[in-house]
Each structure stands twice: as C-alpha cells, then as structure tokens.
Structure 1
C-alpha cells in the first residue's frame, strides 16, 4: 500500500528479479524535459509548454505521471482541476486539448501495475474523476480497455506523407481537385507567415469570425496571448502560421504544429466573404506540401464536429480516407463523492446526463412552478 497524502516518487525493488519500478508525479518543467529524453519520437502534444497552455485554459495545474520498470516506460500528462459544486478539496483530471493519454514504450503487462500506482495517487489526492483524450495515431486506448471505460467518439483523418507529393495529389477527390484549380485561377497564393504580433493578430481576427459563424462553444475561443504562446518552439515541436492571400488581403490561415514524426493541423480560420474563391482547399494542399518538406510521416487533420459530417468529408478529400479512430477514457475514482455531487445537481439543475463528468456538462437551473 502506498503511504502519504501526496506521492512524488515511489521506488520498489524486487531483489530476486533485480527489477526496479519507478512511479513519479512531475510538475517541474526541467524534470519534465529530462524524462521526455527517455522516449523516442514522442509527439508534440506531450511537451510541457503545450500542456501548460491548456492548464491555464482549464484553470488547473499541469502534471505528468512517469512510470518505469525493466520492461516499460510510460509518460502521461494531465491537468488537475478543482471540481465545481464540490467541497473545495475535490479534484478531477483531464488530458490537454488535442490528443494524448499515456505514451507507452514497452509491454501491455506493465499497464496494470502502472495504473495501480496512478489510482492510488488519485485516491490520496482527492481526485474523483479522470478523462483521457487518447491519441488516434498511437492507438493507445487499446491498452486501457480492461482498466477504464473506453468510448469511441469519431474518426479522424491524416495525409500519408511517406508517398510522393504527386501521388498524394492524385488521390484527392475530384471535387477537391476542381476547387484547388479554381483557387489558383482566382490568383490565391499561400505562404508561411512570419511569426510576429501583426500576423498573429490577423489570424486571431479571422479565427474569432470563424468561431462566431460556427456557433462554437466558449471553450474554443482563445485570447491573443494564447496564440502568442502557442507560436513558441518547444523541445518536441515547432508551430507555423500559414496564410492564403488574395490581392492584398489575407483571407485564410492555419496553425500547424510540426513534431518529430507527425504534423498536426491545430486551428484554422477564414474570412466568410472570400469562401467562394475556395482558399481553404488551396491552403490544405499547401499545408500538406509544407509538412512533407519537414520530413514527417503524417499530417493529422483531425476529425469533424460529429462523425462523418461536412468538415470531416472536406478533410478526408485530401487523405484518400486514411482514417483513424478517436477514443476517450472515463474513470470515476471516488464513486461516493461523484454520486453525491450528481444527486445534489439533479435536485436543482437540468444536466446533460450523457456528459462526463456530469458536473462539467451544460447545467441549467430548474424552473419550479
């Protein structure tokens, strides 16, 4: 049994097998970067800087669990937040926005041992629920099916950059090819923008317009400081701002993060009044060419708002349906406290019953007659 309210380092030695197991909770940037050096090709979503951006967004604190034995190494970033409607000493955890979950090098047999340590950490630190956004390209959800509740959400799609650019473009849908030709005929051009405050501000204006047009939730709006920090390099990736230009107007843009093995389409924006010129088709084609020039294997475009919607169909028109499955993981670590909060909420509020954790879904005060 693990002792103490807060676990920092657990070291267990089995002399007969000469097997050493280490479990550590990290929140120091320098220690974080040292541990990352133990992993090959780990994705940009696992950097301290990226995770900390979204810890601020979530009003929480960034941590990572590090596990190692003679067979396996695991690195698992998460954000610890105060539970709303709790007693002030209850917390939940969630992975940073995007794709993550435990990054695993080793064998499946070690997962149960890792998660036993992690569950004890949650219990001793009053963490009542855990939400994991698994990484579609790592397929890491499969390691946890017998440990937590794993739920399929939707497909994502990615351009295979290991084949020639000519072959990639040959595999575009016919409509996509026509729209790219239309954009070129309309004298739209794409380029890598200089990383400066003026260009970031231009992107923010377009991004906010796009989010308003799509009736996006408040979570998907960011202040300008977020974009400034996002554009900074990390040990695991470099962020680029790409623009589409028509005459003297910047009419569309994307933020793409280039990691060690994968690029990720992070955020996109465009001016509604220019959409008929098809700038987004040319922009995505340019983003593919740019990512391929960086030597990565895939450009992950993500998914749609819902399964197989218009946005997903647009993205998959570039990828020849090179699709992946996105899952989330859900775990209640303290059933008594979770049920108490749920029951208290149901007395006074209308809640989203299918949302997890229920207290972070849409909540509306009941109207009593």
Structure 2
C-alpha cells in the first residue's frame, strides 16, 4: 500500500513507522490498544490510517479498506469500503475542544473518500471517548448499552457490585478456585493452546459465527505483536483450567476482549471470580476504567451479567452506517442477492457491508 502525503494529510500503512510515531505522540489516555498499527496488523488485511495535522492538533483515524471488486463483483472501476478493526474504532483527536479543526479534518477525509471511490463506511465508536461527535456529517445510531467499571471507585465491592455478584465471588472462593495472570509476552505455546481451546469451545457451544472463531496463529500473533498491551487470565479448579480471558490494555483503560468458560464448571462461579480478580489487578496497576462491553441486544442476559459488576456504569454505544455512493452500493447489493441464498440474505440484512458475507 502506498503511503501518501497531501495538504496536511497522510495516509499510512501499518508498516509505516509514522503510524506508531503519531500514535505515541497522543496523550497517554488516548494511546488506546485498538488504534495501534500492531492491532491492525492482526487483521492481516489492507489497513490504513488517515492522519490530518496542524501545528497544534491531530485527527488520527485507522480502518480496514476493502477492495470490493476482489470480492467477486463486476463494477466499472475499482471501489472500496472501510470499517474499523474488530472492537472499538473511529477517530482519536489530540485536542477535542477544537471543533473547527475536527470539522475540517472530517471534511478532508470525506474528500479523500470520494477521490478513492470509497462507497461506504462502518464505525463502532468508543463509548469512553464519545468519539462519535468527531463525525459531524453523520447521525450516530445508539445501537446498544455498554458497561464500564470505574476503577477509581475506592470500594467497588460494595458500591459497584450487585449483591448477587458478591455472593457468587464468595462461592467461588469457598470452592477454592485459583488464578494465574500472564503477561502477553510471557505466554508459552501451551498457554496459547489452552486459551484457544476454551475460547473456541465456548464460541462453538454458543453457535457463534465463523468470524468469531480464531485459530492458534491469531492468538500467537497477539502475544507477539501486543506484548505490552495484553494480559491473559486463567481460572483453575484444582489443576484444571476452567475459565479464561484476554484483556487489551494500556495505562488508562482495559478492555474485556475474548474469553470462555467450560460449561461443566459453571456451578463454581468462575466467571464472577475471573472478573473480580481482573478488577482488583487493574486497580492495583493504576488503570482508570475497565470496559466490559454490552450484550448482543439491549438488556439481554449478557448485558445484565456485566451490569452486576458496575450497576451505575452504563454508557451509550454508538455506531454509524454511512453510504457515500448509493448507486454503486445498490448495484453491489443486487449482485450479492444473486450470489447468496435467502437464508444468508436474511441473516446479514441489517449489516451495512452485508455483501462481504457468503461470497468467499
């Protein structure tokens, strides 16, 4: 991928050292693991970062850029779409009080998108940064609620946890559950295999889409690329690993990323114990927030479980679905409908980039 510079705009590939250089120049609370070049390299796809700068400020926006023609569609020229990597995305701004700069940066991006034949853009904004406000041209969609634990709370046990969570943690302690926290850089091949086994077994049990199943190579790449931005926790019953979680983090915020639990050990409450141990660990490390995420839908069982750890930590989660070329977008959808069956069409109908699915 070419790296380009034009009128205070730079388009950077993951291999361009300027991506890391600009990222490292951000304020500490903005050095989010989801925005690193190392994280985007995990996707093994065409990622780039749009950077707009002046002497005092910077608009920093990474995303995956997909060549739509290569998916098998017949089009008159090359067209693309963009979306953030798995997790939270959007843009980071060094000084978000400068609305004139932010609006100008977004305008420059839209000009670039038009030049590049980018027809659609999908974003999952970060509830902590409320960075949907940087995209003034779109109407953000309030798609869900997310739970964030405030680690500055001095008595999380009493003030954040629900009674049921305290009860479950105490039950785990009575059942003599133990734990081990391993830095990403210290993970062994066996550790990675153990994590992968429990995670993928959990996803299979829950009938998760194939896109949520990751192979050993993916987890190995995390330990190699995110050496300073990831930790793993394992929960044991006797000598058996029964629950595990991968957390992405910096010095400010941690994210509950991927995890799983063996169903036959649910009765010992390993999930509650795992989150409790993580919260204590992150507090001891001096972090400010722990983002647990939300459920599949608003107020479902997963959401209620997460809310039990932070009963007052409910944040709005926004996404955006932007179409910049309706004519080409509709043409692609017509071709997609001819390529896939009705079941696939119905399954992905609410996706903006639905035409990515069922064609490869």
**If the length of structure 1 is used for normalisation, what is the TM-score?**
0.87
Q: Map Cα deviations across residues 277-299 of structure 1 (whole Å, 9 max, x no partner).
A: 11111111001011111111011
Alignment partner, residue 218 of structure 1: 210
Q: Map Cα deviations across residues 112-170 of structure 1 (whole Å, 9 max, x no partner).
A: 321222122222222211111111100011232x4124211111111111122xx1011
Tell me how far apart the structure 2 counterparts of residues 315 and 196 of structure 1 sit (CA, whole Å): 30
Moved >6 Å (runs of 4+): none
Query: Does residue 152 in structure 1 map to residue 167 in structure 2?
Result: no
Alignment partner, residue 338 of structure 1: 329
SS of equivalent to 1:178: helix
Partner residue of 1:239 out of 214, 227, 230? 230
SS of equivalent to 1:175: helix
Indicate conservation of the 8 Å contact 1:152/1:326, yes or no: yes
Query: Does residue 162 in structure 1 map to residue 162 in structure 2?
Result: no
Structure 1 gaps, min length 5: 1-5, 12-21, 364-369
Alignment partner, residue 95 of structure 1: 84
Query: Does residue 177 in structure 1 map to residue 171 in structure 2?
Result: no
Alignment partner, residue 4 of structure 2: 8
Q: 1:220 to 1:359 in 2, by over 3 A?
A: same
Q: 1:335 to 1:85 in 2, by over 3 A?
A: farther
Alignment partner, residue 51 of structure 1: 40
Tell me how far apart the structure 2 counterparts of residues 318 and 160 of structure 1 sit (CA, whole Å): 10
Indicate conservation of the 8 Å contact 2:171/2:269, yes or no: yes
Alignment partner, residue 311 of structure 2: 320
Q: 1:7 to 1:286 in 2, by over 3 A?
A: closer
Alignment partner, residue 301 of structure 1: 292
CA RMSD of the aligned region, Å?
Answer: 2.0
Larger radius of gyration: 1
Alignment partner, residue 243 of structure 2: 252
Q: 1:341 to 1:347 in 2, by over 3 A?
A: same
Select between 118-127 and 258-267 the one with higher mean Cα deviation: 118-127
SS of equivalent to 1:202: helix
Q: Map Cα deviations across residues 170-211 of structure 1 (whole Å, 9 max, x no partner).
A: 131111111111111111112213511111101111011100
The number of equivalent residue pairs is: 340
Alignment partner, residue 25 of structure 1: 11
Structure 2 gaps, min length 5: none
Alignment partner, residue 350 of structure 2: 354
SS of equivalent to 2:85: coil
Tell me how far apart the structure 1 counterparts of residues 355 and 334 of structure 2 sit (CA, whole Å): 10
Indicate conservation of the 8 Å contact 2:106/2:134, yes or no: no
